[in-house]
Amino acid sequence: MERASVPGQIPVDIITGMKRSGKTSLINALLQGPYQGRRVSVFTNELGDAPYAEGCRLHAVLGGCICCTAQTELISEIQAAVREEVPEHLIVEMSGKGTIREILQIFAYLPECRLHQLIYVADVRKWRALTTVMGGGFARQIRSAPILLLNRWEEVSPEARDAAWNQIRQWNPEALALTGFSQVDPEKNQTLCQAALPRLADQTSGGEGGEDRPSDADWVLSAGEAMGASAFRGRKAAPPEWKNKIRYKRTEKSS
């Protein structure tokens, strides 16, 4: 999907990842950081244990997976929110069952919106389990994400970090990989994500791997260099994870 931005369009972040990977914590970091003071509507496809930060308008879209069966529900929810809440920013939190690529088609029906950030959040402590259990499904999720947030990076061994880097290099060498919430820069990320849209539109959904990439012992994520953002060599330790000190306001969850 490729569409030029139009002045006045509402920016939309799509955040996905498996349950308890850190998606809600990332959303809260955005709400309490770069989006603080803005009118933000959040649309979530699953309600986890962590409450959302105060100030956002929360919409639970629970009639199915929003990448397939609940697409119509999500479109209706977004259209109603745009009319009634006049948001300055939208955040869509996927359940982790589908890929970012699968949800992009709905924005053909939402001309008032433009894609801003496309982020897959992975708990690196569970990387090996996800690779084993999901196999090609996990590879497809990684391939469809222009930005990867490797949560809990500092809690795993150097060997586990190397294993994750090697698979990212194989599956999605163009991705920008970040290892902390504080590294998420929405303004830089939107440029990267817009550039990735033609690739996502052409991307096939089958197969387990990505394109072959020449071996490079000193490999650095190419998008990180291009954007001038923080990207880390596979054999260097990343800086410590940002410590979340946000105080949350607990919200009522639907049963």
The 10s digit of each residue's pLDDT in 176-235 is 999 999 999 999 999 999 899 888 877 643 433 333 332 222 222 233 332 233 333 332
Q: Which CATH architecture group holds 10-227?
A: 3-Layer(aba) Sandwich (3.40)
User: What's the pTM value of the predicted model, to 2 decimals?
Assistant: 0.76
pLDDT at site 3: 47
- The pLDDT assigned to 189 comes to 92
Average pLDDT score, the chain:
79
Q: Give the Å distances, CA to CA, from 3 to 43, 53, 58.
A: 22, 31, 27
Using CB atoms within 10 A of its CB, is residue 64 exposed (0-12), middle (13-18) or buried (19+)?
middle
- Band (pLDDT 50/70/90 cuts) for residue 69 is confident
Indicate the pLDDT class of residue 48, thresholds 50, 70 and 90: confident
- Identify the pLDDT of residue 198: 86
Q: Which sign does the torsion angle of CA 87, 6, 76, 138 carry?
A: negative
Residue 203: per-residue pLDDT: 62
What is the layout of strands, in order, in the sheet containing 40-44?
57-60, 40-44, 89-93, 10-16, 113-123, 147-151, 176-178
Of 10, 50, 49, 48, nearest to 28 (Cα)? 50
pLDDT for the residue numbered 38: 95
State the CB neighbour count (10 A cutoff) for residue 169: 18
| pLDDT above 90: residue 129 | yes
3-state secondary structure 110-156: CCCEEEEEEEEEEEHHHHHHHHHHHCHHHHHHHHCCCEEEEECHHHC
Mean pLDDT confidence for 93-109: 89
- Write the pLDDT tens digit of every residue in 20-39: 999 999 999 999 999 999 99
Residue with the two structure tokens 């012992």? 217
pLDDT of residue 252: 36
For 130-146, how does the pLDDT look when each residue is reduced to its tens digit (9 = 90+)?
A: 999 887 889 999 999 99
Answer with the residue of higher pLDDT: 97 or 113: 113
Percentage of the chain lying above the pLDDT 70 cut: 76
Amino acid 210: pLDDT:
37
Residue 169 clears pLDDT 80, i.e. is over it: yes
Tell the residue number behind the tokens 């919409």, with chain if given. 59
